[in-house]
Chains A and B, each alone.
Chain A
Amino acid sequence: MRSAVVVFPASNCDRDAAVALEQLTGKKPHLVWHADSDLPAVDLIVLPGGFAYGDYLRCGAMAGQSKVMRTVKERADKGVAVLGICNGFQVLTETRMLPGVLMRNAALKFVCRPVGLTVVETQSAFTRKYNAGQRVVFPVAHGEGNYLADEETLDRLEGDGRVAFKYAPGENPNGSMRDIAGILNEQRNVLGLMPHPERVCDPLLGGTDGRALFHSLIEALS
């Protein structure tokens, strides 16, 4: 599986994503600067966590307008897998590649800790190696992860099996509606999630629950 990680000014999980991808795929991912519109031919594009453009205006708003995102959108329309983690998820909602928005956490605090999640949907290239209902622990680190969408959109997401991850009962760290932690687009080739699977791919970092997400992609896309 060939992959690329987009680097925005003030991305800070780009390297974490690159290390996880290299360890698990055996291939170095391309790191692509946001001002480049050229993106090498890859099977997976990762939009990493961080604070792209200092979160100016709204989280992900500036990054959503960057040159590289036009190419990312075109590739996604052609079926290339796109994984947006944390700030990357915010970028995906700002470009409307995923529905809804990520608002300021309900308690107004930046939350940085491991959180229990339930894998809700396994019928996707991102989650096929998990078991439905499986409990996993991924760290979260965000101030704006409070997922909000109108009731109709939420019903549609749940009805179509597009909610990939939910915060486990009682563990919702940010007030997200219906405990939503990660969602898929209609074509199921774009996943955005607030928790960080790339930070739990090595036992030295406290866990390996994130590996199955990358193994899923390797199996689906190689």
Chain B
Amino acid sequence: MKARVFVTLKNGVLDPQGKAIGHALNNLGFTAVGEVRQGKLIELELAETDAAKAKAELKEMCEKLLANTVIEKYEIELLA
């Protein structure tokens, strides 16, 4: 089974990199671009075939390593 984990900054946490990307886009002429927030996409291959178990395991991975939950939130997506 394959999975994707999206790690992004929690709402309200200042994102200087997102801001810089937004400015760069504005400078390129994409003047309609408003706020930009950036994050990470992590793709994983899992031996687990049970979706519920896989999700539980992924959640643990996020809590332990993939995200720093002080400032980041995560979303898990299972792919067939």
Contact = CB atoms under 8 A, between A and B. Distances in A.
Nearest to B71: A101
Number of contact residues on B: which range applies?
10 to 19
Contact of A105 (B16, B64, B65, B66): B16
B68 A106 contact: no
B67 to A, nearest CB: 9
B46 interface: no
Nearest to A105: B16
B20 interface: yes
Interface stretch (A8-16, A57-65, A115-123): A57-65
Interface in B49-73: 64-66, 68, 70-71
Nearest to B70: A101
B20 A108 contact: yes
Contacts of A93: 70
A57 B65 contact: yes
Interface in B10-58: 13-14, 16-17, 20
Interface of A: 57-58, 61, 65, 93-94, 99-101, 103-108, 146, 148-149, 175
For the complex of A and B, 5 pairs with smallest distance between CB atoms: A101-B70, A101-B71, A108-B16, A104-B16, A108-B20
